[in-house]
Structure 1
Amino acid sequence: MAMELDHECPNCGEKTFYRAASTTLHLGEKVKWHCPDCDYGFVQIDGIDSSAA
């Protein structure tokens, strides 16, 4: 279970996100990721994320 994720933030350009929360759903594991610099966040469910492209 990773606590950090390398992902570019569309708001500020930060490269590291931190795990804010996680739970298990019938679709797979749901993880909320949080940018520490600008408060941008996104959800990832079973490897598919909701972040801006």
Structure 2
Amino acid sequence: MSAAQVKDWLLERFSDLEVGDNTVCLYVADLRERYRIPKQAKLRNYEAVPELPMGKQM
């Protein structure tokens, strides 16, 4: 779970909560370090798409 997801989850449950992105990020990083939770990187597959006539890909 990323820090952005944690912040979204908190704001859904506590709509009046005012917290900065950096604060949540640092807190999540501290939790990961303290409990040795690895950060899982998501691999994205990128590939070239064939060249199409103008307006066709849209």
TM exceeding 0.5 = no
Larger radius of gyration: 2
Bigger strand share? 1
TM-score by length of 1: 0.24
Could you tell me the TM-score, scaled by structure 2's length?
0.23
